[in-house]
């Protein structure tokens, strides 16, 4: 189902034009208007989901397989040296458009895109506490 006020619903379903590089019945992939690097594209489902947590498993699997296919194609066409897949969920994680999307970002040696964070040293206690909290078997 589409959301009336969602720009990615409109792009995904062709109501707003986009620089589309791939389309099928479930997804559209189009170029980002503010690319982090040359060829930066966005993979979006045609159906509205706010984020990863709302997406069903079948579409998640299809999205990752499709990302792999397009990343390979883009790498060959653009001659990039590496590739980032980035997927933000929630404002705290940098999500600005609340319709699931996967960033496909070709990377070039020496480009200034830079997806880094400030690594901190985890203590053994912290690692143990988190393992206990998160591991479910
Ligand atoms: P987010 O920060 O939510 O993970 O990423 C949203 C992305 O959508 C940004 O990279 C932004 O440049 C891109 N974007 C926002 N509005 C439009 C639009 O109307 N068209 C296109 N092609 N990209 C958009
Ligand atoms: Zn939407």
Tens digits of residue pLDDT in 13-46: 999 999 999 999 999 999 999 999 999 999 999 9
Spatial CB neighbours of 127, under 8 Å, sequence gap ≥ 6: none
What residues flank ligand 1, with Cβ below 6 Å? 7, 18, 30-34, 42, 88, 94-97
Percent of the chain at pLDDT above 70? 99
Phi, psi torsion values for 21, nearest 5 degrees:
-110, -10
**How much is the mean pLDDT over the chain?**
96
Residue with CA closest to ligand 1 atom 20: 33
Predicted local distance difference test score (pLDDT) of residue 136: 83
99 is an active site residue: no
Question: What's the whole-model pTM score?
Answer: 0.95
Given 40, 48, 99, 101, the catalytic residue: 101
Q: Is the pLDDT of residue 115 over 80?
A: no
- Are 99 and 49 in contact by the 8 Å Cβ rule? The answer is yes
Q: CA 94, 41, 65, 54: dihedral to nearest 10 degrees?
A: 40
Give the whole-number percent of the chain exceeding pLDDT 90.
91
- Please identify which residue in the block is written with the tokens 């499709």: 66
- Give which of 73, 68, 85 is closest to 21, Cα–Cα: 73
Which residue's CA is the nearest one to ligand 1's atom 12?
Answer: 34
pLDDT in tens, 61-79: 999 999 999 999 999 999 9
């Amino acid at each position: 189902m589409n959301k009336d006020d969602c720009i990615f619903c409109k792009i995904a379903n062709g109501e707003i034009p986009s620089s589309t590089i791939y389309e099928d019945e479930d997804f559209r992939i189009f170029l980002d208007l503010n690319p982090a690097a040359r060829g930066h594209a966005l993979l979006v489902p045609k159906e509205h989901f706010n984020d990863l947590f709302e997406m069903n498993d079948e579409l998640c699997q299809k999205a990752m397989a499709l990302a792999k296919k397009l990343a390979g194609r883009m790498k060959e066409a653009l001659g990039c040296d590496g590739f980032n897949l980035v997927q933000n969920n929630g404002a705290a994680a940098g999500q600005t458009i609340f319709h699931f999307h996967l960033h496909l970002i070709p990377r070039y040696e020496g480009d200034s895109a830079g997806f880094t964070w400030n690594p901190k040293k985890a203590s053994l206690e912290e690692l143990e506490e988190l393992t206990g909290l998160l591991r479910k078997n």
